[in-house]
C-alpha cells in the first residue's frame, strides 16, 4: 500500500487513468446490452477523465524535474559502464511507461469511439434511412373501470434487429422488440402522449410523438 501511495503521489494522473479504463469497460458492457445512448455518454465521460489524467501526469513530471534541478549534484563515482537500459533512473522509466500507456489507451479509446460511425458509413451503405410511422392506437375502457392504452409502430429502412423505447408523459418507460406497446391504467390520470423511439442496429435513431386518444 505504501508503494502504491507513493506511486500515486508521484503520478497524479494515475487515478484518472484507472477511472478512464473502468468507464471504458462499463461502456463496453452497456453497448453489449444494447444501451447505445448510455454507452455513448459513458465514453464521453471517460475521455474527460483521460484529458485530466494527461494534464496531471504532465504536471507531476514537470514538478519532479524542477525538484531534481534544485537538488545538489551527487559526487561522481567511477563505476563500470552498465548496459544502456540501466542508465535510465526509476523516474524516467515511470515517465516512459506512463506516456506509452496513455498513447495506447488513447488509440484504443479513439478506435472504440469512432469505429461504430466508420463502420456504419463504410459497411452499412445499403441500409436506407430509418423511418417510423404510427400503425395504430387505441384506448379501451374495461368493465372494471380500467383503461387499456395500446399503440403500434411501422418501420421502413434501417438494419434489424430494432430496439423500441416508449416514454409516456407520466414518466413511465417501456422497452420492446416488436414496436407494439400497451398499458393498463387503473384509477389514475391517463397519460396524454408517448414518445416512441426506435434504434436500428446500424446506429440510426428516430423518435416520434404519439398523442393518445381518450376512451
- Same domain flag for 135 and 119: no
State which residues form the domain around 137: 131-211
135 with 117, same domain: the answer is no
Q: Are 127 and 158 in contact (CB under 8 A)?
A: yes
Which strands sit side by side in the sheet containing 205-211, from one edge to the other?
A: 173-176, 163-168, 193-199, 205-211
Angular region, 151: left φ>0, alpha ψ -120 to 50, beta rest: beta
Same domain (yes/no): 148, 190:
yes
The residue from 97, 123, 149 where one domain ends is: 123
Q: Are residues 10 and 39 in the same domain?
A: yes
Q: Is the pLDDT of residue 12 over 80?
A: no
pLDDT at 48: 84
Count: domains in the chain = 2
Query: Do 147 and 192 reside in the same domain of the chain?
Result: yes
pLDDT at 173: 96
Looking at the fold, whether 16 and 32 belong to one and the same domain comes out as yes
- Assess whether 29 and 101 both reside in one domain: yes
Kindly indicate the confidence band of residue 140, based on its pLDDT and cuts at 50, 70 and 90.
Answer: very high
Task: Check whether residue 167 and residue 199 sit in a common domain.
Answer: yes
For the segment 157-197, what is each residue's pLDDT rounded down to a tens digit? Answer: 999 999 999 999 999 999 998 999 999 999 889 999 999 99
Give the pLDDT mean for 42-49.
83
Residues 200 and 117 in one domain: no
Q: Which of the four pLDDT bands, split at 50, 70 and 90, describes residue 29? A: confident
Based on the fold, state whether residues 108 and 183 are members of the same structural domain: no
The CATH number linked to 179 is: 2.60.40.10
- Do 20 and 36 have their domain in common? yes
Evaluate whether 139 touches 166 at the Cβ level (below 8 Å): no
**9-19: average pLDDT:** 76
Longest CA–CA separation in the chain, Å: 100
Given 123, 140, 157, the domain boundary residue is: 123
In this structure, are 116 and 165 located in the same domain? no
- Predicted local distance difference test score (pLDDT) of residue 168: 96
Amino acid at each position: 500500500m505504501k508503494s502504491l501511495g507513493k506511486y500515486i503521489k508521484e503520478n497524479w494522473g494515475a487515478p484518472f487513468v484507472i477511472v478512464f479504463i473502468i468507464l471504458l469497460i462499463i461502456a463496453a458492457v452497456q453497448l453489449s446490452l444494447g444501451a447505445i445512448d448510455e454507452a455513448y455518454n459513458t465514453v464521453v465521460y471517460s475521455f474527460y477523465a483521460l484529458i485530466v489524467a494527461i494534464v496531471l501526469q504532465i504536471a507531476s513530471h514537470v514538478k519532479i524535474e524542477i525538484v531534481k534541478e534544485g537538488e545538489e549534484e551527487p559526487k561522481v563515482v567511477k563505476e563500470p559502464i552498465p548496459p544502456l537500459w540501466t542508465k535510465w533512473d526509476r523516474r524516467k522509466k515511470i515517465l516512459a511507461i506512463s506516456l506509452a500507456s496513455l498513447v495506447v489507451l488513447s488509440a484504443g479509446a479513439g478506435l472504440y469511439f469512432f469505429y461504430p460511425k466508420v463502420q456504419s458509413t463504410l459497411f452499412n451503405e445499403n441500409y436506407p434511412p430509418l423511418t417510423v410511422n404510427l400503425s395504430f392506437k387505441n384506448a379501451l375502457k374495461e368493465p372494471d373501470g380500467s383503461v387499456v392504452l395500446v399503440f403500434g409502430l411501422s418501420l421502413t429502412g434501417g438494419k434489424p434487429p430494432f430496439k423500441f423505447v416508449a416514454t409516456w408523459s407520466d414518466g413511465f418507460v417501456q422497452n420492446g422488440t416488436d414496436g407494439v406497446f400497451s398499458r393498463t391504467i387503473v384509477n389514475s390520470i391517463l397519460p396524454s402522449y408517448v414518445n416512441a423511439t426506435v434504434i436500428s442496429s446500424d446506429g440510426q435513431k428516430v423518435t416520434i410523438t404519439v398523442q393518445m386518444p381518450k376512451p
